[in-house]
Structure 1
Amino acid sequence: MVELIAVDGIGEIAPGHDLAALLTEAAELVDGDVVVVTSKIVAKAAGLATRRSRDEVLAEETDRVVARRGGTSIVRTHHGLTMAAAGIDASNVEEGYVIPLPRDPDGDARRLRARIAELAGVTVGVVIADTAGRSWRNGQTDMAIGCAGVVPVASFAGKTDGHGNTLVVTAPAVADEIAGAAELASGKLGGRPFVVVRGLDASLLSADDGPGAAALVRDEGQDLFGLGSREAVLSAALRESRRGFLDAADEWEGLDEVLAAASVPCRRDGSRVLIERGDDDIEAGATAERVWAVAFAYGLDIEILVSTDSGD
């Protein structure tokens, strides 16, 4: 049976506070526990709360913008996380302050784990959690931005289910599931930044620190949603950086589909695209722009030639 134990009596966190000492004084830990701690108190203890403007901090924390609608910015942080406002928060801090995510969440998790072992003589896992939204779904849930001593992703590839079907891509995000479960016990307004998760299967824990929550971050080239819908169109139209576009398995397939659908004669010869202008300058020009945009999105190095007729 898995237990979720929210730890009371921690109090307000200030720069320099020893989080492991506060936890081990307030809770009795045993080997195999997983300690879930909010990213906010890790950042507070590190002295990251600041009176600088939110926009200034956002610019500093942003690796690139994924999407922007009005005053809301979804960005990829330098950690590789995709979050609204880079995870910067103004709740549960003094008025006039904002606080960003910890600089090195996996490193913080490793250090907290080692300090707990030093103080309490127990081997635990540590998950540093933060709240984020999800594509396609309303609401937010907690996820792991740092972890140590926990298997972040459990791969079931190659195993068979009860019907004999071979699993191919099934890979539970264990650290995220732990973070989300812990939030049910801590609540948002309860002032309980630590939750002890007890009774997890030993296969979900690791003797060493493990790869950390960095293992949960999808490689940028494999992210099908690396840009918002409007941003993808704008990026292609302006011929800006391709970061955020998918690295396609068949780079030329999309381009060939555009050529096949064009209303003017056109064909591809290797990396050269030949478009026949004929009597329709507008459609020939539009086809050239569509071809260029798709080539840009797929990262193709092409040459576009527009001829006056099929004989040129």
Structure 2
Amino acid sequence: MGDLHVWAPEGVGEITEGDDLAAVLLAAIDDLRDGDVLVVTSKAVSKAEGRVRPGTRDDWLAGETTRLVARRGPTRIVRNRLGLTMAAAGIDNSNVEAGSVVLLPEDPDRSARELREAVAGRRDVNVGVVVTDTAGRAWRDGQTDIAIGAAGLVVAESFAGRVDAHGNELAVTAPAVADELASAAELAQGKLGGRPCAVVRGRADLVLPTGEHGTGAAALIRPDGADLFGWGAREAVIRAVAGAAADRGPFGSPVSAEELADALHDAGLAARVTHADGVTADGSRADAVRIVAFAHGWEVDGSDTDLRLRPVSP
């Protein structure tokens, strides 16, 4: 590690359905070596795979969405069929003919594997491949490119158990290097430069041996319910009040009895822990207790002056 060289070749041209993507990209890349990482936009992959559709984002949003996460005016943040949480499910209407949109690839990791194998067959080089898309971030304005597909690449480094020069254990144990490569490539590509691919040189340590494709970028997606922000702030309130069983997942696994009692106290509700799987709460505000319990993976088990609460079984 040390020097990192990133460049985005010109002259790729417009990609259309049925194009041999590897051939199109390699025609613009003169120098490709073992250990390089080939980064390509999901839009280029989608166009080659025939994922351009007539219509608007709204026309295709439902089919690409598994659930709504948050809504602000016309903006919809959703969890899409790939498990990614993105605005409008990642459907794009830029750099495409007016009246059309581009859907994300059916399986970006598979697309990355196929491209890696095609490059190896034609250039006899072992490269890693990253398929990228643009995404926003919680708490941050602006967008950056992330990896939604990968092959032949370590997508997250592990520093668990390692210490710094001062003897401190590292707090960040898994840098998402595939995302870092994606954003570095985007700096060279630009949004309007017509450069759908880039080559990153200098991190051959991340490229896996020939024939080993690795976990793919899907490994970077937190399972639904493991994210601290499974619902938007407003949506979380609505879902907890409604209390539908199907909406429990994004709130995560049931908390401990102590944590639930603390949450009830924070909401101004009297409660006490009776045992590891038992909490009682003041029944005079039963609706409020039920809402807090629902958001923490618990439920009311019987009604009385004191409400008995228990964690919901998986």
What TM-score, normalized by structure 2, do the two folds share? 0.89
**AA partner of residue 195 (structure 1):** A
Is 1:257 aligned to residue 268 of structure 2? no
The answer on whether the counterparts of 1:19 and 1:45 sit within 8 Å (CA) in structure 2 is yes
In the alignment, the residues of structure 2 paired with residue 265 and residue 96 of structure 1 have an alpha-carbon distance, to the nearest angstrom, of 57
**AA partner of residue 288 (structure 1):** A
Q: Which stretch has the larger CA shift, 167-176 or 151-160?
A: 167-176
Instruction: Mark the CA change 1:12 to 1:259 in structure 2 (over 3 Å): closer, same or farther.
Output: closer
* CA positional deviation for 1:265: 6.1
* CA positional deviation for 1:52: 3.4
**AA partner of residue 179 (structure 2):** D
In the alignment, the residues of structure 1 paired with residue 152 and residue 98 of structure 2 have an alpha-carbon distance, to the nearest angstrom, of 36
1:281 aligned partner = none
* CA positional deviation for 1:253: 2.7
Q: Which stretch has the larger CA shift, 2-11 or 164-173?
A: 164-173
Instruction: Mark the CA change 1:38 to 1:260 in structure 2 (over 3 Å): closer, same or farther.
Output: closer
In the alignment, the residues of structure 2 paired with residue 92 and residue 186 of structure 1 have an alpha-carbon distance, to the nearest angstrom, of 14
Residue 221 of structure 1 aligns to a residue in which SS? coil
After superposition, give the CA deviation of every residue in 1:167-209 in whole Å (9 maximum; x if it has no partner).
Answer: 2542110000000000110000000001011122x32221111
**AA partner of residue 18 (structure 1):** D
Instruction: Mark the CA change 1:267 to 1:68 in structure 2 (over 3 Å): closer, same or farther.
Output: same
In the alignment, the residues of structure 1 paired with residue 265 and residue 297 of structure 2 have an alpha-carbon distance, to the nearest angstrom, of 20
1:205 aligned partner = 207
In the alignment, the residues of structure 2 paired with residue 185 and residue 41 of structure 1 have an alpha-carbon distance, to the nearest angstrom, of 16
Pick aligned residue for 1:292 from 290, 294, 309? 290
In the alignment, the residues of structure 2 paired with residue 229 and residue 58 of structure 1 have an alpha-carbon distance, to the nearest angstrom, of 22
The answer on whether the counterparts of 1:275 and 1:305 sit within 8 Å (CA) in structure 2 is no
The answer on whether the counterparts of 1:272 and 1:305 sit within 8 Å (CA) in structure 2 is no
**AA partner of residue 306 (structure 1):** D
Is 1:246 aligned to residue 248 of structure 2? no
Structure 1, unpaired ranges of 5+: 277-283
Residue 220 of structure 1 aligns to a residue in which SS? coil
Is 1:8 aligned to residue 10 of structure 2? yes
Is 1:140 aligned to residue 143 of structure 2? yes
Q: Bigger radius of gyration, 1 or 2?
A: 1
Instruction: Mark the CA change 1:164 to 1:147 in structure 2 (over 3 Å): closer, same or farther.
Output: same
Residue 6 of structure 2 aligns to a residue in which SS? strand
Is 1:303 aligned to residue 275 of structure 2? no
Pick aligned residue for 1:232 from 236, 243, 246? 236
The answer on whether the counterparts of 1:258 and 1:291 sit within 8 Å (CA) in structure 2 is no
Residue 4 of structure 1 aligns to a residue in which SS? strand
In the alignment, the residues of structure 2 paired with residue 143 and residue 264 of structure 1 have an alpha-carbon distance, to the nearest angstrom, of 43
After superposition, give the CA deviation of every residue in 1:186-244 in whole Å (9 maximum; x if it has no partner).
Answer: 000000001011122x3222111110001111122220011100000000001121132
The answer on whether the counterparts of 1:274 and 1:304 sit within 8 Å (CA) in structure 2 is no
In the alignment, the residues of structure 1 paired with residue 67 and residue 22 of structure 2 have an alpha-carbon distance, to the nearest angstrom, of 34
The answer on whether the counterparts of 2:68 and 2:79 sit within 8 Å (CA) in structure 1 is yes
Instruction: Mark the CA change 1:5 to 1:274 in structure 2 (over 3 Å): closer, same or farther.
Output: closer
The answer on whether the counterparts of 1:72 and 1:84 sit within 8 Å (CA) in structure 2 is yes
Q: Which stretch has the larger CA shift, 103-112 or 20-29?
A: 20-29
* CA positional deviation for 1:25: 1.7
The answer on whether the counterparts of 1:288 and 1:304 sit within 8 Å (CA) in structure 2 is no
**AA partner of residue 257 (structure 2):** W
**AA partner of residue 26 (structure 1):** A
Residue 225 of structure 2 aligns to a residue in which SS? helix
Count of residues paired in the alignment: 297
* CA positional deviation for 1:31: 1.0
What TM-score, normalized by structure 1, do the two folds share? 0.90
Residue 146 of structure 2 aligns to a residue in which SS? strand
1:280 aligned partner = none
Residue 113 of structure 1 aligns to a residue in which SS? helix
Residue 162 of structure 2 aligns to a residue in which SS? coil
Aligned-CA RMSD value: 1.9
Residue 132 of structure 2 aligns to a residue in which SS? strand
Q: Which stretch has the larger CA shift, 263-272 or 3-12?
A: 263-272
Q: Which stretch has the larger CA shift, 299-308 or 19-28?
A: 299-308
Pairwise mapping of residues 118-133 of structure 1 onto structure 2 (< 5 A)? 118-133=121-136
The answer on whether the counterparts of 2:264 and 2:292 sit within 8 Å (CA) in structure 1 is no
* CA positional deviation for 1:10: 0.7
Instruction: Mark the CA change 1:112 to 1:191 in structure 2 (over 3 Å): closer, same or farther.
Output: same
1:279 aligned partner = none
The answer on whether the counterparts of 2:134 and 2:144 sit within 8 Å (CA) in structure 1 is yes
Is 1:73 aligned to residue 76 of structure 2? yes
